């Protein structure tokens, strides 16, 4: 494949990926999760006041609902909401743009890691990009405010620049420096990267030691740069709140052999067909519940990749020779897939596609290797073309079925998981604030205050000074609350208040009532 053809197809894949990820971005999934609201509001607060909702000045870890968030996505989000306004589209946009760059990086990485036959490798680089473009796993985390998708983009590009440095005859410090900076950026974006990125980078540096340390001063400088960049995180981990995330893992629940066995059990739960292709998930925030993280065809390619990889590995060891082409597709794929699942295997909630997202490049490389090895087994060109055409058609049919389900069935049934209705409810009542003495708001769905801060665009200093004094958040609202003087009552669909008496009803995308709003009876 010529460089011109590769460039044209490269751009075409990115156009398709962009269309799939930007289409109805603020409508599907319909609703804004707590985390999206927290990221959006905290980014707004930091951009405008340099302080978070707790008035901490430019923190490294952001306290949010008893947990602590990594900082980079929040800082970046502040710029987008400043430019495009405080709305769901602006909050999701940086994550979507990052996901598109991740696909570009995946194609360039796949092309770069091949040792031989660059023209042929361009073809497989495009296959990697197409698999990622049509990946249910990647699409799901591209269309909502999940830090994991942004962290994945930084991680892929850090790998690309590392291999760019390794493969170059003339070692350039800038490429190694960018690899380090982007790796650190990945770590500062999502907690899973704190495990995955250092492990992967360490293994690759050891494997390519001679090439990485060919110019020792460059390697030392890059290592020093990385250490300087992570020092604030290290300091925060031991002196601040950076290690609080460990409270959501099994590390403090088990020990010894029991811990090891539990980790293995939970690791392999992420390799089960139920999770990979049948849609098993603990929440629709982490998947559509009908389709797995891999399309069935991709799953088959991955299995083929593992089988062929095992066969070729045995052959290589018998010949006392390692085929580097096999290493870069198969072994790198295995490394990324295995290490990428580790953070999810340590969690309490199993399976967890969000924490395992950094394993996606590994699955893609294994799928590419499996498809490549399978096609190479077919000798006759006529049969090969027919097989390739059939595989492409079947893959596209699976994808069409998935994306149709995503924009229809999932768009409806995910309303509760994405807290649909919160934004509309607050947008309706905020204009009444000056006219009433109290706003009684249900807390049935959890964390209503963050949506109030987001919609009101409340300065965090004012918030801590009592800006929400008119709001009362209550678990259970009853009929007696309706007679409160000069009070707006916002009830949930679980509160036993007559919908017919409401002044305004907020419906979710599932067409169920989410909020019942009652204006003061004396108005």
Write the DSSP string, 409-458. IIHHHTTTTTTTTHHHHHHHHGGGGGG-SEEEEE-TTS-HHHHHHHHHT-
Q: Select from 334, 386, 346 the least CA-distant residue to 254.
A: 346
Whether residue 517 contacts residue 497, with contact meaning beta carbons closer than 8 Å, is answered with: no
- Which pLDDT tens digit goes with each residue over 238-258? 766 555 555 567 887 788 889
CA distance 95 to 3: 30
Q: Cα dihedral sign for 318, 322, 328, 332?
A: positive
Pairing of strands 62-64, 471-474: unpaired
Q: What is the pLDDT of residues 350-371, one digit of tens each?
A: 999 999 999 999 999 999 999 9
- At 72 the pLDDT is 97
Q: Is the pLDDT of residue 459 over 90?
A: yes
Q: Residue 71 phi/psi, 5° resolution? A: -90, -30
Q: In what order do the strands lie in the sheet with 513-518?
A: 471-474, 438-442, 487-492, 513-518, 504-507
- The answer to whether 190 touches 151, Cβ cutoff 8 Å, is yes
Q: Which helix (H) or strand (E) holds 66?
A: none
The mean predicted confidence, pLDDT, of the chain is 93
Is the pLDDT at 10 greater than 70? The verdict is yes
Is the bond preceding 76 in cis, omega lying within 30 degrees of 0? no
b/e map of 16-30 (b: 16 or more CB within 10 Å)? ebbebbbeebbebbb
List alpha helices for 377-410, DSSP H: 381-405
C-alpha 300/C-alpha 371 separation (Å) is 9
Q: Which residues contact 206 (CB under 8 A, 6 or more apart)?
A: none
Q: What is the pLDDT of residue 283?
A: 95
CA-closest candidate to residue 65, choices 271, 247, 312: 247
**Domain boundaries of the chain, sorted by first residue:** 148-242, 422-518
User: What percent of the chain has pLDDT above 70?
Assistant: 95
pLDDT band at 202 (very low <50, low <70, confident <90, very high): very high
At 76 the pLDDT is 97
Query: What does the pLDDT average to over 439-458?
Result: 96
Pair of tokens at residue 179 = 């690899």
Question: 8: buried, middle or exposed (CB in 10 Å: 19+, 13-18, 0-12)?
Answer: exposed
Cα(165)–Cα(205) distance, integer angstroms: 11
DSSP strands (E only) in 41-82: 62-64, 67-69
Residue 523 pLDDT > 50:
no
Does residue 81 contact residue 47 with C-beta atoms inside 8 Å? Answer: yes
Residue 272 has pLDDT above 50, yes or no: yes
Q: Comparing C-alpha atoms, which of 150, 161, 146 is closest to residue 201?
A: 161
Q: What are the φ and ψ backbone dihedral angles of 495, each rounded to 5 degrees?
A: -75, 135
Chain centre to alpha carbon of residue 415: 19
pLDDT value at residue 246: 53
Tokens, residue 4: 């011109």
Q: What is the mean pLDDT of residues 376-388?
A: 87
Asked whether the bond before 227 is cis by omega within 30 degrees of 0, the reply is no
Q: What are phi and psi of 189, to 5 degrees?
A: -100, -35
Say which DSSP state 354 is in.
Answer: T
pLDDT exceeds cutoff 70 at 322: no
pLDDT value for 117: 61
Determine the length of the chain: 523
């Amino acid at each position: 494949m010529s460089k011109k053809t590769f460039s044209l197809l490269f751009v075409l894949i990115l156009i398709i990926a962009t269309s799939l990820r930007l289409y109805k971005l603020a409508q599907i999934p319909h609703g804004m999760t707590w985390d999206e609201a927290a990221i959006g509001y905290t980014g707004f607060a930091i951009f405008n006041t340099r302080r978070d909702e707790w008035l901490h000045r430019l923190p490294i870890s952001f306290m949010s609902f008893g947990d602590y968030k990594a900082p980079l996505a929040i800082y970046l989000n502040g710029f987008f909401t400043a430019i495009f306004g405080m709305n769901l589209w602006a909050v999701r946009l940086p994550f979507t743009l990052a996901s598109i760059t991740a696909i570009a990086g995946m194609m360039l990485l796949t092309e770069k890691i091949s040792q031989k036959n660059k023209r042929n490798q361009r073809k497989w680089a495009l296959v990697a990009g197409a698999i990622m473009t049509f990946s249910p796993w990647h699409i799901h985390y591209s269309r909502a405010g999940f830090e994991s998708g942004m962290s994945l983009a930084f991680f892929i590009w850090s790998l690309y620049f590392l291999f760019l440095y390794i493969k170059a005859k003339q070692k350039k410090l800038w490429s190694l420096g960018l690899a380090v900076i982007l790796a650190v950026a990945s770590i500062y974006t999502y907690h899973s990267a704190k495990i995955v990125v250092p492990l992967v980078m360490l293994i690759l540096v050891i494997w390519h030691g001679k090439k990485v340390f060919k110019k020792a001063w460059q390697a030392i400088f890059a290592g020093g740069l990385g250490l300087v960049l992570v020092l604030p995180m290290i300091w925060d981990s031991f002196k601040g709140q950076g290690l609080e995330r460990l409270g959501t893992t099994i590390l403090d629940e088990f020990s010894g052999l029991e811990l090891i066995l539990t980790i293995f059990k939970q690791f392999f739960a992420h390799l089960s067909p139920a999770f990979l292709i049948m849609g098993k998930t603990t929440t629709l925030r982490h998947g559509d519940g009908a389709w797995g993280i891999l399309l069935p065809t991709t799953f088959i390619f991955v299995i083929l990749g593992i089988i062929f990889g095992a066969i070729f590995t045995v052959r290589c060891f018998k010949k006392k020779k390692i085929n580097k082409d096999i290493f870069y597709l198969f072994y790198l794929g295995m490394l990324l897939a295995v290490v990428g699942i580790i953070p999810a295997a340590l969690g309490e909630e199993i399976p967890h596609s969000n924490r395992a997202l950094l394993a996606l490049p590994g699955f893609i490389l294994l799928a590419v290797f499996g498809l490549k090895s399978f096609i190479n087994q077919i000798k006759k060109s006529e049969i090969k073309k027919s097989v390739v055409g059939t595989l492409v058609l079947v893959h596209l049919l699976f994808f069409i079925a998935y994306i149709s389900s995503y924009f229809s069935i999932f768009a409806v049934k995910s309303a509760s998981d994405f807290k649909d209705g919160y934004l509309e409810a607050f947008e309706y009542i905020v204009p009444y604030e000056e006219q009433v003495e109290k706003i009684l708001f249900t807390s049935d769905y959890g964390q209503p205050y963050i949506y109030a801060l987001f919609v009101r665009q409340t300065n965090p200093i004012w918030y801590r000074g009592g800006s929400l004094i008119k709001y009362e958040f209550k678990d259970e609202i009853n009929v007696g609350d309706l007679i409160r003087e000069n009070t707006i009552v916002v009830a949930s669909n679980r509160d036993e208040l007559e919908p017919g008496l409401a002044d305004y009803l907020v419906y979710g995308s599932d067409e169920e009532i989410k909020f019942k709003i009652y204006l003061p009876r004396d108005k």
